Amino acid sequence: MKTKITKLLAVSALAASSLVPPALAEEGKVKVGLILSLSGPGSVLGQEMQKGADLALEMLDGKLGGKAAEFIYEDDQRKPDVGKEAAEKLTRSDDVDVVIGSSFSNVMMAIHRPITRAGKIVLSPNPAPAPLAGDKCDPNYFAVPFQNDQLAEAIGTHLSAEGVGSAFILAPNYQAGRDLLEGFKRTYTGEIVGEIYTPLEQTDFSAELTQVKSADPDAVFVFYPGGLGIQWVKQYAQAGLKDDTPLYSAFTYFNGAALNAIGEAGLGLKSAAQWTIDLPNDANQEFVEAFRAKYDSPPSDFAAMAYDAVRLIDSAAAKVDDVDDTDAFRAALREADFASVRGEFKFNTNQHPIQAMYLATVEADEDGNYIAVSESVIEEAMEDSYAKDCSME
């Protein structure tokens, strides 16, 4: 049976855990559906996004663009069919104005069409599969954080610049995994000495680690999100590879509860990132401080991107008389006229960001939390590789 979590928010953040009183359900309210993985495998991603979205609305006094707001959460359980059902419910019976979702690329590939076909706009807070950035781009689909391949391309660029001669690459066998390894190969100029795709539910990597040891690469690049990343990094260190073979990733170790779950095994590991907790812009500092105060933990990348998605909706809703005017609302979203936690970024013609990419390194903060901080800039204004294939201008 599908698990559903519904949350209505309006007027103030203090009402975030309760239903909006009928008297406040006035016309002009902005209804936002959120399809996230809130239970089962990968739920840590969805739960972090929920925290980021809730915090953003709280800091906006329960309003978007000055209008009362309603959040309706749906749990996709990381299952495409459940996600599709949620998308149809939100756009039909709930008649939301915009959808934020999902947590994983396989679910995004199932939900984007029902949403856009219904004339609604969907904002991705995390997954950005290659087809939707290129020839299957859609005016009603926006990728808020990145295009999947970008972080892997950034690591490939970095390792090539550092003269790393060989690499072994691994990822789960689904849309995002295939996207990221293709992205790495697109920019890495060294030799790929091994390439493995593992089942999405696999958490024991002993056989793959044996193959990595045998290949003896100069570096390893992996994409293992959520709980998979926790297991991979721990097992990598336990196998004795950490000290001898540098490990790089995209999305595998990130700020928040999961990085603390990895613990000491994550220290010194490097990843590409479009956002890090220490970026010095005012919007990010405000977000990090508020998140720590509310949840007593450092925010994750996933929380930060969901937070940005809500702030983007707020900026667009403020520019239109009615968010039901989809053309006007879409045009306002494309302007990206809000203070992002990333600092400067804008949407490319395919409605994916142009933004800086950083090399992030894991360290411990003064409270004993493990966090990923920016070590250097890999690219100042990185575009994705698929915009040229998108017919939008």
At 275-325, the pLDDT tens digits run 999 999 999 999 999 999 999 989 999 999 999 999 999 999 999 999 999
Give rounded-to-5 percent helix, strand, coil for the chain: 40, 20, 40
Distance of alpha carbon 374 from its chain centroid, rounded? 18
Q: Does domain 30-147+280-354 have CATH number 3.40.50.2300?
A: yes
| pLDDT, position 368 | 87
> For the ranges 1-5, 39-43, 106-110, which has the lowest average pLDDT?
1-5
The top-level CATH class assigned to 149-275+356-389 is alpha beta
Q: What is the mean pLDDT of residues 252-271?
A: 80
Name which of 94-98, 254-258, 299-303 the model is least confident about. Answer: 254-258
Q: What HEC string does 121-147 produce? A: EEEECCCCCHHHHCCCCCCCEEECCCC
Kindly report which listed range (11-20, 23-32, 182-191, 310-319) carries the lowest average pLDDT score.
11-20
- Least confident range of 33-42, 129-138, 159-168: 33-42
No. of H helices and E strands in the chain? 12, 14
pLDDT confidence bin for 209, thresholds 50/70/90: very high
68-75 mean pLDDT: 98
CB 371: neighbour CB atoms within 10 A?
A: 24
pLDDT at 2 over 70: no
Identify the pLDDT of residue 226.
Answer: 76
Characterize the bridge pairing of strands 270-273 and 219-222.
unpaired
pLDDT at 17 over 70: no
Q: How far is CA 80 from CA 36, 37, 127, in A?
A: 11, 11, 13
The string of pLDDT tens digits covering residues 323-352 is 999 999 999 999 999 999 999 989 999 999
Domain ranges for the chain? 30-147+280-354, 149-275+356-389
**Average pLDDT, rounded, for the chain:** 91
Higher-confidence residue of 261 and 284: namely: 284
pLDDT of residue 6: 44
Average the pLDDT over each of 23-32, 59-68, 186-195, 231-240 and give the range with the smallest value: 23-32
236 pLDDT higher than 90: yes
Residue 140: predicted pLDDT: 98
Lowest mean pLDDT among 176-190, 225-239, 251-265: 251-265
**What pTM did the predictor assign?**
0.88
Report strand pairing: 67-75 vs 30-36: parallel
30-147+280-354 matches 149-275+356-389 in fold:
yes
pLDDT at 257 over 70: no
**Other beta carbons within 10 Å of 107:** 28
pLDDT of residue 254: 59
Task: Give the range among 24-38, 74-88, 123-137, 350-364 with minimum mean pLDDT.
Answer: 24-38
Residues 35-52, mean pLDDT to the nearest whole number: 92
pLDDT greater than 90 at residue 13: no
pLDDT band for position 15 (cuts 50, 70, 90): very low
Give me the pLDDT at residue 256, please: 65
Residue ranges with strand state E in 228-384: 247-249, 270-273, 345-347, 353-364, 370-382
pLDDT at 117: 96
pLDDT on residue 44: 85
